[in-house]
Amino acid sequence: MKRLNKWILTSVLFLMAVAVYSQGIVQGTVSDGEMAMSLPGANIMVKGTKQGASTDFNGKYSVNVSQNKGVLVFTYVGFVTKEVPYTLMNGKATVNVTLMPDAESLNEVIVVGSGIIDVVKDRQTPIAVSTIPLSVIVEKAGNQEFPDLMKNTPSVQVAGQAGGYGDARINIRGFKQDNTAYLINGQPINGMEDGKVYWSNWSGLSDIANAIQVQRGLGSSKLAISSVGGTVNIVTKATDKKEGGFVKATYANDNYVKSTVGYNTGLMKNGFGASVLFTHWQGDGYNDGTRGQGQNYFISLGWKLNDAHMLNFLVTGAPQWHDQNFNKKISDYLKYGRKYNSNWGYLNGQYMSARRNFYHKPIANLNWDWTISDKSSLATVLYASVGRGGGASGLGKFVNTTNGLVDFDKIAENNSKVSGGIAISDTRLRLSNAFIMRASYNNHQWFGGVTNFQHKFNEKFTANIGSDIRQYTGTHFRAVTDFLGLNAIEDNSAKRFHKKNKVTQSYTTNPWKALTQNVEDNERIDWNYGETITYGGIFGQVEYNTQHISTYLQGSLSKQYHQRVDEYQYDVNNQKAEKVTNDGFNIKGGFNWKVNEQHSLFVNAGYYSRQTLSR
């Protein structure tokens, strides 16, 4: 009996030793093949087993394996899954993998509004496209501006303009922003008046974007919008299905500090869920006198009524202020240093800027997805946006210190010598050595809705039809933000129809307060005009897809009504200009031939006729 027990014990120990000996480690890195960057959080599984691991922040992984040979499966949301064989040598193996973005899998991050958000997915659309996944957004965001996330994308140029936070512009294939369509969850954000996008108003997108898809050239958007240069689809977070929260802090150069907190309830039994995120940031900026501060809030409420209906209500905004810098002469940089900025100084020992941008533009949208049948669906989004704020600058006699800064103390002293404390605006403000700070306000309210009906006739043929309706009212004027010791100014510009006007009130540059403050007409200076734009469009699209061929044809018609109101230059009985009506249309199509898994040939073409933009 003792011999039998010894034999059994020896056998068990031998088998354990064999098992331990047969185990090994496979390690390596996982990177993004398009962006040439590491992929943190990528999943690695040993095929046919439950053994696996995830990459760390640097894209490195290490996984234990029990077989000398096997296959590793690499997966990441938004990327093509890849299977790679391994063979252990002395119990070790190194497998480095490059994953390529999969535009078709972008629907994995789209929770609602799939019929409105025109990303290239579930088809081989003849469009040049690059998708920036969440992993790259998280890794690259830091203290960079949102447009910088796209600067490594082919045909995309990102450049700064005024040297402050959010002062960036984007060109795609050489086209400026007014010839490129920018959409957030299918909602157009190009300005209704000038077609531009002011990225300082959208600084919070880095925190809430799930993915960015850049479509170069003719984009896939069905809306009647100008997308000659390209289409940029920004897919934000929605109501997360999983419960959880996080707290994050970032510290970077030039005293940049950012704190973020977020929480998701997850999808509860009653079908309801909520996701919230709040951020605060501040920094001194790279150039002297380019300080900035802002917040970001994101609230998403989702409700899955049943398998056919889903609702999601979202509110987000990013109030901010930032001080600006502009190009200088080389001689100035040589004299004062490369970080020199002439737009700031000190007043009574306190920092003060002569160039400040401040804005608060909250947006809200309600998405409704209705799955009518397994072949038909209806997607609708109703949205609203309110913008308040502008850019503050000086008017009058600038005085500089010996080191090139604005001498606000001397300016205040000069103002104290003005007779009666009342200065005259226009050219005489400069002649009297007086100086004030005033802001150019660009306020607006924007309401709209987009709806799209889709019907899938069979596995190859799909059709869409829908509408796009918008109503926009913009108001533009100037108002005093700091008298710097003056009591009032008289606005007697030759442009002013109502003769001179005495202004005694100053207004805030705080973006939160600017959202609700009201500047009376008799406190507005230099100009005071507005415009109302009413826009309506219909669109349709047909697609035909097979295993090797894909083609589409899209068309749209639109009509726009535009009316200007000027309360500064015109008589009170004649302040409204004649209403102008403009028609627009576009037609575009494309053909794609999928040669094999690695190669495809495509061609697209289109014709656009859009309404004239205000300048």
166-220 pLDDT per residue, tens: 778 888 888 888 888 888 888 888 888 888 888 888 888 888 888 888 888 877 6
- The predicted pLDDT at position 540 comes to 92
Domains 1-101 and 244-609 belong to one CATH topology: no
Rounded mean pLDDT of the chain? 84
Residue-level pLDDT at 454? 93
Average pLDDT in the 17-37 region? 72
Q: Which of 32-41, 119-128, 317-326, 392-401 has the lowest average pLDDT?
A: 119-128
pLDDT at 3: 54
Asked if residue 146 has pLDDT above 70, the reply is: yes
Q: Which residues of 340-377 are buried (b: 16+ CB within 10 A; e: fewer)?
A: bbbbbbebeeeebbbbbbbbbbbbebbbbbbbeeeeeb
Most confident among 110-114, 215-219, 271-275, 502-506 (mean pLDDT): 502-506
CATH number for domain 244-609, candidates 2.60.40.60, 3.30.930.10, 2.40.170.20, 3.40.50.1220: 2.40.170.20
Q: What is the pLDDT of residues 549-607, one digit of tens each?
A: 889 899 999 999 999 998 888 877 888 888 999 998 889 888 888 887 667 788 888 88
For the stretch 414-456, pLDDT in tens is 999 888 888 877 655 555 678 999 999 999 999 999 999 999 9
- The pLDDT-based confidence of 236 (bands split at 50, 70, 90) is confident
Angstrom distance (rounded) from CA 235 to CA 218 = 19
User: Under a CB-based contact definition with an 8 Å cutoff, are residues 586 and 607 in contact?
Assistant: yes
Residue 15 is predicted with a pLDDT of 44
Residue 31 clears pLDDT 80, i.e. is over it: yes
Least confident interval from 136-140, 303-307, 319-323, 513-517: 136-140
Q: Which whole number is the average pLDDT over 18-41?
A: 75
DSSP 120-176: --SS--SSEEEEE-HHHHHHHHTTS-GGGGGTTSTTEEEEESSSSTT-EEEEETTB-
Give the residue-averaged pLDDT of 14-33: 69
For the chain, what percent of residues have pLDDT higher than 70?
87
Topology at the third CATH level for domain 1-101? Immunoglobulin-like (2.60.40)
Predicted confidence at residue 142, as pLDDT, reads 74
* pLDDT at position 245 over 90: no
3-class state of residue 586 by DSSP: strand
Place 35 in a pLDDT band, splitting at 50, 70 and 90: low
pLDDT in tens, 329-348: 889 888 888 899 999 999 99
Q: Where are the domains of the chain?
A: 1-101, 244-609
CB of 528 closer than 8 Å to CB of 495: no
Q: How far apart are the C-alpha atoms of 611 and 615, rounded to whole Å?
A: 13
Residue type, 192: M
- Summarize pLDDT for 61-78 with one digit per residue, the tens: 999 998 899 999 998 866
Output the pLDDT for position 12: 47
pLDDT for position 268: 83
Q: Comparing 34 with 491, which gets the higher pLDDT?
A: 491
The CA-CA-CA angle for residues 57, 60, 63, to 5°, reads 125
Residues 513-529 have a mean pLDDT of 90
Residue 136 has pLDDT above 90, yes or no: no
pLDDT band at 161 (very low <50, low <70, confident <90, very high): low
Phi–psi pair at 306, nearest 5 degrees: -165, -170
pLDDT in tens, 273-293: 888 999 999 999 888 999 999
Residues 523-538: what's their mean pLDDT?
91
DSSP 8-state secondary structure symbol assigned to residue 576: B
